[in-house]
Chains A and B, each alone.
Chain A
Amino acid sequence: NAGVTQTPKFRVLKTGQSMTLLCAQDMNHEYMYWYRQDPGMGLRLIHYSVGEGTTAKGEVPDGYNVSRLKKQNFLLGLESAAPSQTSVYFCASFPTGTGRREQYFGPGTRLTVT
């Protein structure tokens, strides 16, 4: 059971470049989330998904797009990276139904935009 994994772990982009961050979970969780973590600001929700084929905006969605084509994967895209998107990105998943209802986090992706 790998839990929640994120690819890549680190990335450096130039302004204007695009990239996709991949989040995968093997726990059959319905809900998945993308957060960004910035010093002094905690974690802020970018986008989330409550099931395969669905996505919704969070607190700071501008400049990002997401897709949830398969239940186990949640992709975060940056179409035209900006220095303000330099951050650590965390993915999380959450089970519905009974059992231990908590968000499970991935290890993070450290992104630098120059």
Chain B
Amino acid sequence: AQRVTQPEKLLSVFKGAPVELKCNYSYSGSPELFWYVQYSRQRLQLLLRHISRESIKGFTADLNKGETSFHLKKPFAQEEDSAMYYCALQSSGSRLTFGEGTQLTVNP
């Protein structure tokens, strides 16, 4: 069975500091991984997916199959980045398995 783990429930950084949100997964097949973001009491939005190798709002994430990780990074955090971030793995039926989420707070 697939599993996604986000070890940090809370992460707090100062504006302009680098930020890394960790995500580890276990899956027997070839993984398709995503990062979703949820701003305060809003709907979830797709931030990025590993297959497109894109950078959205300055965030990037690299899939490391050897370490089974998909960490989200941004070199200079902004206050508007404060949100809940979810790592998710897609399996059959296009179902998503989510991690527990990391609440990021960027302090001024």
Contact = CB atoms under 8 A, between A and B. Distances in A.
Interface in A38-77: 40-45, 48, 50, 56, 58-59
Contact of B49 (A35, A42, A102): A102
Given A48-B93, A94-B94, A107 B34 contact: no
A101 B42 CA distance: 21
The A interface is mostly helix, strand or loop, or mixed, namely strand
The B interface is mostly helix, strand or loop, or mixed, namely mixed
14 contacts: A35-B98, A42-B100, A42-B101, A43-B96, A43-B98, A48-B95, A56-B93, A92-B44, A101-B94, A102-B46, A103-B96, A105-B45, A107-B42, A107-B43
Interface of A: 4, 31, 33, 35, 40-45, 48, 50, 56, 58-59, 90, 92, 94, 101-103, 105-108
